[in-house]
Structure 1
Amino acid sequence: MSWAEPTGVLVVQHLPHEGPYAIGTALEAAGLPVRVCRTWAGDPVPESPDGLAALVVMGGPMAAYDDSPAFPTRAAELALLRVALEAVVPVLGVCLGAQLLAVAAGGVARPGDGQQTGWGTVRTTSAAPADPLFAPLPEHLRVLHWHGDTMDLPAGAALLASCDRYPVQAFRIGGAGWGLQFHLEVDEEAIDAFATAFPDEAATVPDLRESTPAELTASAPHRDGVFERFAALVASRAARTTTRAFFTSLAATWEEHFAADGPRYAAAVSRRELLPGQRVMDMGCGSGLALPALRDEVGPRGVVLGVDLTPAMLTAAAREGRAGVAHLLLGYACRLPLPTGSLGGVFSAGLIDHVPDSAAALREWARATAPGGVLLLFHRSGRAERAARHGRPLAPDDLLAEQNLRPTPHATGWDLLCYEDAAHHFLARAVRTG
């Protein structure tokens, strides 16, 4: 089993003129491929964000609160946004996309008291200076409004920008979802397209085209900065994002697929030679199959940590009662939320050869482990068995091949003492040097 390769950023586009404009420019400048889902042309909305580095949902005249024939993809878009939020996939919603994002997170979209069209000023809030995208923005920002609906944010959302008529102008959901009610992405081409597509709304702003060049000159640096920061965030998280998205879709059924492997995990844990009272970590714990065995090894005075990158997997572990035997922590293999030398050992099953920088991960695990601590790398299948299952030959550059693995622990603070690539399991045991 392997997760999807990154395929770039998906832009959901409801009308031809509602393009990403400056958003797309920033994403492509960051080396992120952009794929457009043209719902107006009948493109299907994906069921999951597997393989995506980010999701962008653009605007349109439809209503985020109405399953009308004019908006046949509303339910599918909300479902995709919910899974993306659960998987912590970076999301950017613009106008209608922002309203859909709010609804997907538990908020409410509703009709406003009339159309808000044209250039206007929004105020950044006290939450903006701590936001990854909004931090450098001025207190007052000129933006293009082109909407008539509004929204109420869900509990926990951070309001980032506001105005008197429609208070919700920009917001953040969690650590990776942003909504912009206004059109910060526009350039002169976009203004012309909007005015042509919606002449009645444009007629309410007689000097729209004349005022646009000066407005864009003033707002473009802030516009470009927001989207450049979003693109940089997406690029820096891409590998983690695709991993989380893949495992989020599997978390609900993970236990039923692998529960029978519990004895295999217990047998592997017993090879660690742990001592009662030690502090141990299962890195990439998933639904926590190894956690009960680790608890048995270290006893009631010991500490067991189950660490995983995917929130849905930790939810699955808690559902299986593993929170009663271990502390469940959200964490990344290459940057652990643990003090130096605080662990007596590390257990990790089926993870190390899928981490983008395996040497960095091993080095980080060594940092968090005291000298003499034990590392056990485990897989429920041997290398040959896994290769056959995926219909491919054994690869000479496979990290877990002995000639490749043996020098890696030594260079990252570990001494490899045992290597077993058996028919039905893989196991490597190393000790923290120093």
Structure 2
Amino acid sequence: MRRLQRTAVALRHVAFEDLGLLAPVLDRAGWTVSFCEAAVEDLSHASIVNADLLIVLGGPIGAYEIDKYPFLSREIALLERRLRKKRPTLGICLGSQLMAKALGSRVYAGAVKEIGWGKVELTEAGAASCLGGLACDDARVLHWHGDSFDLPEGAVRLASNAHYDNQAFAFGGQALGLQFHLEAEPRQLEEWYVGHAVELAAAGISVPELRTATSALAGRLRTQADSVFDPWLRQIGPV
């Protein structure tokens, strides 16, 4: 049986926050992936608007900083159209916050800067979703954010933790927002340590300690990412 050719566009805000562990999952499933640099490219281009899957990646700015970064208004408008039409959409960290804003929710600075590896607690809906594998005792995800958002109307909360109620949500069967990073690839995180050096210093985060924690988890992270992204990609369309 011939596999359908499907297109995915990844909106990138900084070069080093890319698809990471999600890239091989997409490749195995037969997706053709292209990148769009969100701050400078035409987000109204047909190749982006009509992509079978839109992936909105992370970045060190706030979804509410439109006055400073006007391109965000175009990105939010793109998400509004996709979500209204129930087109497959995945948001990671900033991407999930932009999805929430596009759905009419408030996005705001959180009370705690959350950087490092930790667990999330799944809701009943989360345990029954593609995130189910994160319920195991040794599951850990990378938190790297200081913003939060209200759960959008019509969305389903999938995960939370002690600091943030909305760590993951689903909107219909075609959209998934993840506040945390499942896609982070251990070796590529060395670029994050450099690119986010000022943020890490301001938050009092030890890079050697973060690197050690990452190394201890490195062997299981690919399997963990596969366990979430594989079923979600099957959910949004035929293989």
- Mapping 1:49-198, distance limit 5 Å: 50-69=49-68, 71-131=69-129, 133-138=130-135, 141-198=139-196
Question: Using CA pairs below 8 Å that are at least 6 residues apart, which structure has the higher relative contact order?
Answer: 2
Partner residue in 2 for 1:214: 216
**Offset at residue 111 of structure 1 (A):** 0.8
Per-residue Cα deviation, 1:199-222 (whole angstroms, up to 9, x for no partner): 134343320111212223244322
Q: Quote the Cα distance in structure 1 between the aligned partners of 2:154 and 2:236.
A: 22
| Deviation of 1:72 (Å) | 2.6
Amino-acid identity (%): 34
User: Relative to structure 1, is the Cα distance of residues 201 and 66 closer, same or farther in structure 2, using a 3 angstrom cutoff?
Assistant: closer
SS in 1 for 2:159: strand
How far 1:151 sits from its partner (Å)? 0.6
Which stretches in structure 1 are left out of the alignment for 5+ residues? 238-434
Amino acid at match of 2:16: H
Check if 1:232 corresponds to 2:213. no
Query: Cα RMSD between the aligned structures?
Result: 2.1
- Superposition pairs for residues 278-289 of structure 1, below 5 Å? none
Q: Does the residue aligned with 2:101 lie in a helix, a strand or coil?
A: helix
- CA distance in 2 between counterparts of 1:125 and 1:162 reads 8
Q: Distance in 2 between matches of 1:47 and 1:110?
A: 29
1:187, 1:116 → 2: CA distance? 18
* SS in structure 2 of the partner of residue 8 of structure 1: strand
Q: What is the Cα deviation at residue 31 of structure 1?
A: 0.8
2:127–2:135 CA contact under 8 A, matched in 1: no
In structure 2, the residue corresponding to 1:88 is in which secondary structure? coil
CA-CA distance at 1:155 after TM superposition: 2.0
Contact 2:89 2:176 in 1 (8 A): yes
For residue 18 of structure 2, what is the aligned residue in structure 1? 19
CA distance in 2, matches of 1:189, 1:139: 24
* CA drift at 1:130: 2.8
What SS is found at the alignment partner of 1:137? Answer: helix
Aligned pairs, how many? 230
**Cα separation, 1, equivalents of 2:165 and 2:218:** 23
Counterpart for residue 35 of structure 1? 34
1:248 maps to which residue? none
Q: In 2, distance between residues paired with 1:122 and 1:182?
A: 9
Q: Tell me, what secondary structure is at the counterpart of 1:236?
A: coil
Task: Give the 4+ runs in structure 1 shifted more than 6 A.
Answer: none
What are the Cα deviations for residues 243-264 of structure 1, in whole angstroms up to 9, with x where unaligned? Answer: xxxxxxxxxxxxxxxxxxxxxx
Once residues 50 and 149 of structure 1 are traced to their aligned partners in structure 2, the CA distance between those partners, rounded to angstroms, is 27
SS at match of 1:93: strand
When normalised by structure 2's length, the TM-score is 0.88
SS at match of 1:208: helix
Deviation at 1:115, TM superposition (A): 1.6
Structure 2: give runs of 5+ residues left out of the alignment. none
Deviation at 1:103, TM superposition (A): 1.0
Letter in 1 for 2:210: L
Shift of residue 144, structure 1, vs aligned partner: 0.8
Q: Relative to 1, partners in 2 of residues 1:189 and 1:43: Cα closer, same or farther, differing over 3 Å?
A: farther
Q: Name 2:42's counterpart in structure 1.
A: 44
Alignment check: 8 A CA contact 1:30 1:235 kept: no
Structure 1 residue identity aligned to 2:107 = A
Q: TM-score of the superposition, structure 1-length normalised? A: 0.50
Does the CA-based 8 Å contact 1:54-1:90 persist in structure 2? yes
Task: Give the deviation of 1:47 after TM superposition.
Answer: 5.7
Q: Which amino acid aligns with 2:234?
A: A
Deviation of 1:139 (Å): 5.2
Give the deviation of 1:106 after TM superposition.
1.9
Cα separation, 2, equivalents of 1:154 and 1:26: 28
Report if the CA contact (8 A) 2:174-2:236 is conserved.
no
